[in-house]
Homo-oligomer: A and B are copies of this chain.
Amino acid sequence: MVFENPVIKELLSKVRVLWALRHATSLMAWDTETYMPREGSTERAIASGELSVLSQQLILRPEVIELVEKAEKQEDLNDYEKGVVRVLKRSIKIAKALPPKLVYELAKTSQEAVVVWREARKKNDFNMFKPYLEKIVDLNREAAEYLGYEEHPYDALLDLYEEGLRTRDVDNIFNVLEPGMKKLLDEILSSGAFPREHKLEYIKYDQSAMEKVNLEVLKILGFPLGTRARLDISAHPFTQHMGIKDVRITTRYEGIDFKRTLFSVIHEFGHALYELQIDERLMATPLARGVSLGIHESQSRFWENIIGRSMSFVKAVYPILSKYLDFIKDYDVDDVYTYFNVVKPSLIRVDADEVTYNFHILLRFEIEKNLLTKEIKVEELPEIWSNEMDRLLGVKPKTYSEGVLQDIHWSMGSIGYFPTYTIGNIVAAQIRHHILKDIPDFYEKIEKLEFKEIREYLREKIHKWGSTYEPKELLKRSFGEEINPQYFIDYIKEKYILRKI
């Protein structure tokens, strides 16, 4: 048995309803992006609002708080039981700290801001979005004060998305990453081995053929389609889990540049596999989900970049691509590999390659941190954005839409989310380092489409624990060390300079 302590067991039975509410709201979120009739959005919004308030009320029930306090004092709790206490204490702390009025204001502002942001991006009108962003920054600043922090107000926000992550940690990461990657990027660009564009980017594909490619790739990766998983279509790809046995991913088909849909599928597969491989004994408990956004992103990036963009994988999927996509016959394995690994300093984060991606995050991290401490103002963002993009990547946006207005996150009220992307990139490279020690024929296995051992490795090291250990502890237990950006630099060097991957 995983849970034996009677107080923990009572606590779990009391909070199972919270899991059930999350199950329901996850399904609502999935449905909103996939099958909901257009005008259903009005009632969906009302229902989501009500259920989110209800969740807050249920986590703050006096009997739950008392049980958590009682559980904390129990002796001989096992790691799972300690995990339950940790996760619930954290939820209670956050729910208690934020005044309902602030939560309501933030939800209301974001709801409006997302609509305005879409319009503003379309019209390239920063001034339209400015007052909303200012309000969102103010509300987040207020939230940080309520949540509390030791060193930096941004710590309080980072922790919402990545438990235990501090501003100082992110500073330390970028202090290594920025100079290391800047040097590598210059080298890669001047070597010319990885060109800035590829003909395949401009080739149109047939959607139904591409759907077959995606399904076949998912099958070889080990996605339990139909039994425990689904693939659907949505405007923006995402993963949503209703539970350990019901995890759904989506992709989109733009009809051109097939790697975009292919890599979105592999990326979401990585997220999905994390949820699918959680220990079934944790089902319907607070531990039954990936522990943080950063660790989650490490899984998606591991499959998308470490595996999916490797030469071994290109060799392995080349027959699938040729089987369904007529135009592939004009391109060999090397062409496809080059196409998958174009390196180009560019303006849009979501289109960035793995070499330049983290610079986009650095820019956003610096902006968020400084907005919070009022060192910069929202109105200065377009100029800062332009200057920093130039400094970091040598490109300058010509419009707000391809600059400060490109991401949805701020309009949704999220400040402190972006750094989790870089955490994911680094941890993926770090896992690669360790898996190569434990599975020395890692790349041979990929080439032979043998993913079982790789999936099992990830299950043991990361997935099966769900939220049992906080991110830092999970890494320490599984790999005996903390997050280290050097692994990412080494990986990029090995691949793009030494050309060994």
Contact = CB atoms under 8 A, between A and B. Distances in A.
Interface string A389-407: 0000000000000000000
Copies in the complex: 2
A242 B37 CA distance: 10
A43 B283 contact: yes
Contacts of A21: 24, 51, 54
A38 B226 contact: yes
A20 interface: yes
A42 B246 CA distance: 9
Nearest to A288: B43
Contact of A243 (B38, B40, B53): B40
Interface in A220-269: 224-230, 232, 242-246, 248
A25 interface: yes
B17 A230 contact: no
A229 B36 CA distance: 8
8 contacts: A17-B51, A19-B47, A19-B50, A23-B44, A24-B27, A24-B51, A37-B245, A42-B245
Q: Which of A24, A36, A229 has the most CB of B within 10 A?
A: A24
Given A24-B25, A39-B227, A39-B245, 5 more contacts: A17-B53, A20-B49, A36-B246, A37-B224, A40-B228
A284 interface: yes
A281 interface: no
Contacts of A20: 46-51, 54
A35 to B, nearest CB: 7
A26 to B, nearest CB: 10
A28 interface: yes
A37 B246 contact: yes
A19 to B, nearest CB: 7
A318 to B, nearest CB: 30
B37 A226 contact: yes
A244 B43 contact: yes
A326 interface: no
A229 B27 contact: no
Interface in A44-75: 44, 46-51, 53-54
A39 B48 CA distance: 26
A35 B35 contact: yes
A31 interface: yes
Contact of A284 (B16, B28, B43, B224): B43
A50 to B, nearest CB: 4
A104 to B, nearest CB: 13
A27 B240 CA distance: 15
Contacts of A246: 36-37, 39-40, 43-44
Given A35-B230, A39-B227, A227-B37, A16 B46 contact: yes
A182 to B, nearest CB: 45
A399 to B, nearest CB: 33
A32 to B, nearest CB: 10
Contacts of A243: 40, 42-44, 47
Contacts of A24: 21, 24-25, 27-28, 47, 51
A475 to B, nearest CB: 28
Contacts of A37: 224-230, 245-246, 248
Interface string A2-25: 000000000000001101110111
B40 A242 contact: yes
Contacts of A44: 23, 242-243, 246
A250 to B, nearest CB: 12
A244 to B, nearest CB: 7
A284 B46 contact: yes
A224 B20 CA distance: 32
B50 A17 contact: yes
A227 B248 CA distance: 24
